[in-house]
Chain A
């Protein structure tokens, strides 16, 4: 089945220690998104890619970076995690035509110690 995969599902990192979260998709969608979600709140968009075109949200901290080496893969890099970065990180994809509904991965829950 076509899907969005996130690894790892759970990640523990130390305060200030860089961490990378990964996302892959078999849907062949042009657009990939990274969201941060805290405590059952609405997902907060960090950035999205339209193919290789990177679009950063104005309020996304510089501590968060992303890479998309090809259509299938996208990475979220947190350069110096703080305690406030502990959250669920969700990857999603969508088409560039039609109704634009998004398909989400299962998420990576990040703990910062």
Chain B
């Protein structure tokens, strides 16, 4: 079965420090991987995606993610965290078993950036 795991419910980091939000996946075939961010009382916002090509993917707001096929991971990273990055982050994978229109979301990781 296809799945996404975010092992940390919460990540705390000081402003200016690098941040990592972890994600591992299990899919059949080539993975289509995504990160979304959700601010309070808002919908999810697409951050970045990995389809093919370079393992390091750059996205919005200075975020990037590293695809690691051998470890089946797709960790979200940012070199220098901002207080405004505090939000709920979801890793997701395209569900190729259902024709491709559905997305499987991880449980989410809440990021707190302390000033």
A75-113 vs B, CB cutoff 8 Å, 1 = contact: the mask equals 000000000000010111010100111111111010000
Are A40 and B43 touching (Cβ within 8 A)? no
Are B101 and A40 touching (Cβ within 8 A)? no
Return B63 CB to nearest CB of chain A, in Å. Answer: 14
- Whether A19 sits at the interface, judged by CB under 8 Å, is no
User: A40-B88, A42-B106 known; A96 and B101 CB under 8 Å?
Assistant: yes
State which of A55, A100, A104, A107 has its C-beta within 8 Å of the C-beta of B41. Answer: A107
State which of A41, A50, A105 has its C-beta within 8 Å of the C-beta of B108. Answer: A41
Range, interface on chain B: 20 to 34
Are B49 and A99 touching (Cβ within 8 A)? yes
Tell me what chain A mostly uses at the interface: helix, strand, loop, or mixed.
strand
Are B41 and A109 touching (Cβ within 8 A)? yes
What is the bound-complex CA distance between A41 and B88, given in angstroms? 10
For residues 64 through 79 of chain A, which have their beta carbon under 8 Å from a beta carbon of chain B? none
Question: Which chain A positions have C-beta within 8 A of B88?
Answer: 40
How many residues of A are counted as interface, with CB atoms below 8 angstroms from the partner's CB atoms? 27
B27-48 vs A, CB cutoff 8 Å, 1 = contact: the mask equals 0000010101010011111100
Are B44 and A43 touching (Cβ within 8 A)? yes
What is the bound-complex CA distance between A106 and B40, given in angstroms? 10
What is the bound-complex CA distance between A48 and B107, given in angstroms? 21
What is the bound-complex CA distance between A55 and B94, given in angstroms? 16
Are A40 and B108 touching (Cβ within 8 A)? yes
Query: Which B residues are within 8 Å of any A CB, using their own CB?
Result: 32, 34, 36, 38, 41-46, 49, 51, 88, 90, 94, 100-103, 105-108, 110
- Add 7 more A-B contacts to A90-B43, A100-B94, A104-B43 (CB < 8 A): A41-B107, A48-B101, A55-B101, A103-B46, A104-B45, A106-B42, A109-B41
Query: Which A residues are within 8 Å of any B CB, using their own CB?
Result: 4, 6, 31, 40-43, 45, 48, 50, 55, 88, 90-92, 94, 96, 99-107, 109
